[in-house]
Amino acid sequence: MANSTPTPERGNTLSEREIIEVDYLIVGAGAMGMAFADTLLTETDATVAIVDRYGRPGGHWTVAYPFVRLHQPSSFYGVNSRELGTDEVDQDGWNAGLHELASSDEILTYFDQVMRKTLLPSGRVSYFPMSHYDGADPARPDVQRCHSLVSGGEFDIRVRRRTVDATYMNVTVPAMCPPKYEVASGVRLITPNQLPALEQQASHYTVVGAGKTGIDACLWLLQHGVDPSGITWIMPRDSWLLDRAQIQPGPESAASDAESFTARIRAVLESRTVEELFQRLEAGGLLLRLSSDVTPTAYRCATVSRTELEQLRRITDIVRHGRVRRIGADTVELGGATVPARPGTLYIDCTADGLEARPVVPMFSGSRITLQTLVPCQQVFSAAFAAHVEATYEDDAEKNGICVAAPHPNTALDWLRSSAHLDDLLLRWFADRGLLEWCDASRLTKYSIGSLPDELRTALFEGLHAERKQLQQLLAHEDQTVAVAVAVAAN
């Protein structure tokens, strides 16, 4: 099918309420939607329509701050059929010695090439940018209604197989939503998008938020010569961080991967409490934290290099009194305290919940597929894997048994839950050699299990089984401890 669009300049205008017919409708041309479409086209002869509210592929990347980069190597991002980047190792900067991290410009160019050079030339994809998905026609459930955000023109898509929701994860960046706290008149507050447009130095900078975006904003300020004493960092929660050196592609990382896996299994099996487990994980270099005297209560897969962490530790004015409620001319009101505000401060809002905790729903359900994360924090692999499962298996019950979604981690305990979930997934996949071989061939994951010798695969199976059991016991013990504490407090 030729590429289609409701805009005249693309040469295929849809008249009012005109209808096209495809096998799959994918709502959203972000990273997950593109990864799903790419694998589906590779493994089937299906026709696809992609409806997206943005003017170019890439989802939230189209509105992200211009200095954003991937936190993990480019080698694992994008779609299966096309490499992202050159697989080079950075030779300088704060990522030196580690594989390259694509910039937002590189990612947007990449997704544009995937659309223009892979999906559309297949002749089986219709692409509708700047269009809104309005839902199913109440009278015709197989017909999905859409309209152009530019012309207002309405059009229908009859879907023979499934509608794929690639927007369910609801990724947001600060430019997409206002802050959830009050800002007094006269207070200067910007999003990270506006930092590169600064025309004069601020007397002081305050970064609000301590997730991936907050880390990026702090590093950007430091890279541009701001003295650490000129930065305040409002940090509602400290987070456990991943060491980027532990997440590197290529055969040269095989030995360190094996060591890390063994160290993680040992840490889990030898720990009797959650506190002890995190101590062991930190001692083994598997998790990092900003301040040695503050125990993190959050975990959201944020990833740093050791050099970046050293730079972040140069910032010593860290405010840990909960979330901001109001920024006034003279004070900042937080959940746990009110602190003075420095005159002339430029506040940088980094509080958007990039990946909010969404309820887990069945991925395959009748005429719908709802894309969610399977392997924790690996969204594009999860979407491509879901497309492979859709193309390979017949029964929804079987598909949902293979594709069990995981909520995005939020608290420190979610490291345990995410790890137990991944163990459970891999143990399920062990029974299907074809799935393991597909994972081995995918450029979007580090996991290469199918190609392991039988004795190593058996040892891995036993290790995952033991780890999952111990993680479940640690979580149960923690739940019991909390229940006792609540009961004591109530009395």
The CATH code belonging to domain 8-167 is 3.50.50.60
Q: What is the pLDDT of residues 377-395, one digit of tens each?
A: 999 999 999 999 999 999 9
> Are 40 and 387 contacting, i.e. CB atoms less than 8 angstroms apart?
yes
Q: What is the pLDDT of residues 234-284, one digit of tens each?
A: 999 999 999 999 999 987 787 788 889 899 999 999 999 999 999 999 999
Average pLDDT, the chain: 93
Q: What is the pLDDT of residues 310-322, one digit of tens each?
A: 999 999 999 999 9
Instruction: Supply the DSSP symbol for 356.
Output: -
Judged against a pLDDT cut of 70, whether residue 409 lies above it is answered with yes
Mean pLDDT in residue range 48-66: 97
Q: What is the pLDDT of residues 152-188, one digit of tens each?
A: 999 999 999 999 999 999 888 888 889 999 999 999 9
The whole-number pLDDT of residue 78 equals 98
Q: Whole-model pTM? A: 0.94
Cα–Cα dist 29/31, whole Å: 7
The whole-number pLDDT of residue 174 equals 83
The whole-number pLDDT of residue 2 equals 43
> Are 323 and 236 contacting, i.e. CB atoms less than 8 angstroms apart?
yes
Q: What is the pLDDT of residues 119-162, one digit of tens each?
A: 999 999 999 999 999 999 999 999 999 999 999 999 999 999 99
Cα–Cα dist 302/220, whole Å: 16
Q: What is the pLDDT of residues 206-217, one digit of tens each?
A: 999 999 999 999
The whole-number pLDDT of residue 416 equals 98
CB atoms within 10 A of CB 87: 14
Judged against a pLDDT cut of 70, whether residue 375 lies above it is answered with yes
Long-range contacts of 246-254 (CB under 8 A, 24+ apart): 246/285, 246/286, 247/72, 247/73, 247/76, 247/303, 247/446, 248/73, 248/98, 248/99, 249/73, 249/75, 249/76, 249/87, 249/99, 249/446, 250/75, 250/87, 250/99
| Fold assignment, 187-349 | FAD/NAD(P)-binding domain (3.50.50)
Mean pLDDT in residue range 225-238: 98
Judged against a pLDDT cut of 70, whether residue 488 lies above it is answered with no
